[in-house]
Amino acid sequence: MSDNAVASTGEKAGTTPHEEEVLAELTAPVPEVGDGGPEMVQLLTPEGQRVENVEYDEYVKDLSDEDLRGFYRDLVLIRRVDAEATALQRQGELGIWASLLGQEAAQVGSGRAMRPQDYAFPTYREHGVAWCRGVDPLNLLGLFRGVNHGGWDPNEKNFHLYTIVIGAQTLHATGYAMGIQRDGDVGTGDQDRDAAVIAYFGDGATAQGDVNESFVYAAVNNAPVVFFCQNNQWAISEPNERQTRIPLYQRARGFGFPGVRVDGNDVLAVYAVTQQALNAARSGNGPTFIEAYTYRMGAHTTSDDPTKYRVSAEVEVWKHRDPIERLKSYLVHTQKADQDFFDAVEAEGDELAVTVREGCLNMADPTPDSMFDHIYVEEHPVVEAERKEFAAYHAGFEGEGSH
């Protein structure tokens, strides 16, 4: 049973709430829900109206209608994969799932701003970035199904393995960027050579020492790294004010590089801001901090129960800022896409969901002795001794039960 179901039906089952409690809930003021403020870069309003922006328009001016429809397709398909994964977890096929619901634009906008030679270091929720890099969604499911800890080759799509320790990957990203510098792949002016790194993390991670150290290291090395923070307002149950006293993007200044807040539910704005930051990094102008102001529409993971710490009125406000609806609205009223297109994407999503579901169900369990593989590159006597011991122990049971 889902945790949400437990909370919504179980908590008050058998008890009659006091009249005052019911009244208090009905008349409670809608909480103040931040809108990112005037400094937030936005190119599409929640209603899908294009807003001019002197600084950032140039980064989207070359996008064709096909590119825009491509963004829409990315957003819808990754949401569909995400929904299917959540369903698979509810049906016991995944141990846990970390949903990206609501954060699609932040991930697709930044993911599509990358060039093939750029490198992404994700947390464990960057399914949309993985999608943009061409990583098979089934690779992501393996980790959550418990058949592996990731297992894909990061260098195949320049998409590092999911990192579960909060913020640790920001240092790996910075070190990788220092390697790019030493390879001379920064500031050559060659579009196919100059490379940058994006480090993904969340608002909760900004409190980690690792993240702050990565800012220091990136700054003093002028490393080609973009720090991409998806501020989804919640670090499991803890709101922004438990993590920070100032808007997160303003922290960058203290470390000596620019910080910018972008509407994380506006795929165009995210694309533009990330383009600018990646260009700066690739051309040798060092790091940028991007705060993508967004919202985690679902639970932290399928094991979480957000009804215990946040009110539904807040979620309702954010529903009106949905990243997919606003792009759809824009595509419709600018006649860049028609109903046939939307229907086709919907159908593609359904097909993809079937593929993901079947792939998940058919995923082979690892063989028991495979747990001794890949601990070391070189042969290790303890590993090999225990592998033999393990095999001998199990061989001792062979034939048992057949007599």
Partner 1 sequence: MGTMTIAKGINNGLRAAMERDPKVVLMGEDIGKLGGVFRVTDGLQKDFGEDRVIDTPLAEAGIVGTAIGMALRGYRPVVEIQFDGFIYPAFDHIVSQVAKMRARSLGKIKLPMVIRIPVGGGIGAVEHHSESNEAYFAHTAGLKVVCCSNAEDAYWMIQQAIESDDPVLFYEPKRRYWDKGEVDESAAPRPLLKAQVVREGTDATLVAYGPMVKTCLQAAEAAAAEGKNLEVIDLRTLSPLDLDTVAASVEKTGRTIVVHEASTFLGLGAEVAAALQQRCFYHLEAPVLRVGGYNLPYPPSKLEEEFLPDLDRVLDAVDRSLAF
Asked whether the beta carbons of 69 and 331 are under 8 A apart, the reply is: yes
- Please pick, from the candidates 174, 294, 301, 302, the single residue that binds partner 1 as defined by CB under 8 A: 174
Cα distances (angstroms) measured from residue 225 to each of 80, 98, 195, 385:
30, 25, 9, 43
Helix boundaries (H) for 166-235: 168-182, 209-221
Cβ–Cβ under 8 Å, residues 291 and 41: no
Q: Which of 36, 128, 175, 306 forms a contact with partner 1 (CB under 8 A)?
A: 175
Q: How many CB atoms lie within 10 A of CB 276?
A: 22
Token reading at 400: 């048992």
268 binds partner 1 (CB under 8 A): no
Which one of 374, 397, 398, 400 is in contact with partner 1 (CB under 8 A)?
374
The active-site residue, picked from 172, 296, 321, 326, is 296
Please select the residue that binds partner 1; options are 12, 242, 380, 388, rule is CB under 8 A: 380
Using a CB cutoff of 8 Å and minimum separation of 24, what contacts does 50-58 make? 50/330, 50/334, 53/269, 53/272, 55/276, 56/269, 56/272, 56/273, 56/276, 57/272
Q: Is 319 helix (H, G, I), strand (E, B) or coil?
A: helix
User: Minimal distance in Å, beta carbon 369 to partner 1?
Assistant: 14
* x-marked contacts with partner 1 along 122-161 as a string, rule CB under 8 A: --------------------------xxxxxxxx----xx
124 is catalytic: no
Comparison of 239 and 366: residue with beta carbon closer to partner 1? 366
Quote the least distance from Cβ 303 to partner 1, whole Å. Answer: 21
| 278 touches partner 1 by CB under 8 A | no
Residue 205 engages partner 1 in binding (rule: CB under 8 A) = no
Place of tokens 């698979």: 88
Catalytic residue check, 182: no
367 near partner 1, judged by CB under 8 A: no
CA proximity to 269, closest of 80, 51, 84, 96:
51
Determine the 3-state secondary structure of 261 from DSSP: strand
Whether 357 is catalytic is: no
| Beta bridge partners of residue 300, listed in sequence order | none
Q: Give Cα separations from 194 to 121, 156, 265, 281, 363 (angstroms).
A: 18, 18, 29, 9, 38
Q: Which of 300, 321, 326, 330 is catalytic?
A: 300
The rounded distance, in Å, linking the Cα atoms of 199 and 218 is 11
Of the residues 60, 68, 168, 262, which one makes contact with partner 1 according to CB under 8 A = 168
**Closest CB to partner 1 among 181 and 355?**
181
Restricted to residues 213-232, the positions that interact with partner 1 (CB under 8 A) are 213-214, 216-217, 220
Of 153 and 351, the one with the shorter C-beta distance to partner 1 is: 153
SS (H, E, C) 330-369: HHHHCCCCCHHHHHHHHHHHHHHHHHHHHHHHCCCCCCHH
Q: Out of 58, 65, 183, 343, name the contact with partner 1 by CB under 8 A.
A: 183
How many residues interact with partner 1 (rule CB under 8 A)?
44
CB of 201 to partner 1, least distance (A): 13
Which residues are identified as catalytic?
296, 300, 309
Interface with partner 1 by CB under 8 A: which residues?
Answer: 148-155, 160-161, 163, 165, 168, 170-183, 209-210, 213-214, 216-217, 220, 373-378, 380-383
